[in-house]
Every structure is written in structure tokens, then in C-alpha cells.
Amino acid sequence: MSTATNDRSDATDAAGGRSAESIRLQADPGACSADGGSPDETDEPDRLVLVPMNDYQPGMTGRVVDRLPAPIVVDLLALPNGDTVSVLTQPDEYRGYVVRSTLTATQVRSTTIVFTRDSLETGACYVFEVGAQLFSTQLSLLRTTVRRVGAADSSDSGESDESAAAANDA
């Protein structure tokens, strides 16, 4: 997955004003801060996640956009012929989440899918810890942990991740 970059997020246009793109990047409430934001008040444990090898960036901060339906997660965690890999005998134990990330303040976000047995909160920001380990070469997945660094934004529908999970599993 390629990541497009801006030379500067605070670039000015020909008239000396800020470009529309730099204003959009700064004003976007869905963006997590590049420094990972401030840690939550709660002492939440780190969560073990599986992330595609090509998408992992140590220290990357991302906002959970949505949870994937369970049948899609099972399909994504299977080989093309439908078989499971030996390290992942029960892919239905995992939840899949779409995560939109910001690598630095000057790089446009990328999107990836992460898998976890834990629950991630939709709208919350998480930082990918340094120190990933190989999980599966066949699925091209690394195992690492994420730490919550920002609360869910108030613009969400108010639906909790658990109620959304029940709807996705139905």
C-alpha cells in the first residue's frame, strides 16, 4: 500500500494563504495527532493485534474507523484455497478493524485492517508499539501490540463497539 505525502501540511497557495488540503488535514476531527496524542486517563492494557507486513510502521498512530463483519474476517484470515494456516486454526476468534493512520503530520493517511481477539473502540486512537514479530508468512501478517492513546471522538453515532459487534455477528 503506498502512502502519498505532502511536502508540508502548512503549505501556502500562490496568494500566500494556506492551501485547502493543509486546512482539511488540520481541521479533520478524524485525524489522530502525529505524536500519538495524550494517553487516556484509564490504564488500559496493550492489545495484541495482527497487522499486514506491508502496513506495519512502528510508532504509527491510527483511528479505528469501523469493525468488519465476522464472515469477512474469517475469509481474510484464510488462504486463497479456503484452508487455514497452522498458527491460526480458528480465525473466527478474531475481530477485524479498519484503521486509518497518520504516519507524520506531513503524510496523508493510509488505511489498513488489523485483527485482534480483543476489542478496539471505534473512533479511538491507538499507537502501534515497536517490536513486531512474524506471525504468518502465508498470510503476510505480523504480531504486535497497540496502546490506546485517544478517546473516541464525540461525532460517532454513540453506538458502542460491543453493540456493533453483536450486529456484525448476527
d(CA 147, CA 39): 9
136 in Cβ contact with 65 (< 8 Å): no
Q: What is the pLDDT of residues 60-98, one digit of tens each?
A: 889 999 999 999 999 999 998 988 999 988 899 999 999
pLDDT higher than 60, residue 19: no
102 in Cβ contact with 32 (< 8 Å): yes
pLDDT: which is higher, 163 or 135: 135
Q: Which three cell numbers stand for residue 126?
A: 491507538
Rg value, the chain, Cα: 17
**Beta-carbon neighbour count of residue 12 at 10 Å?**
11
Which residues partner with 30 through β-bridges? none
Q: Which three cell numbers stand for residue 131?
A: 517490536
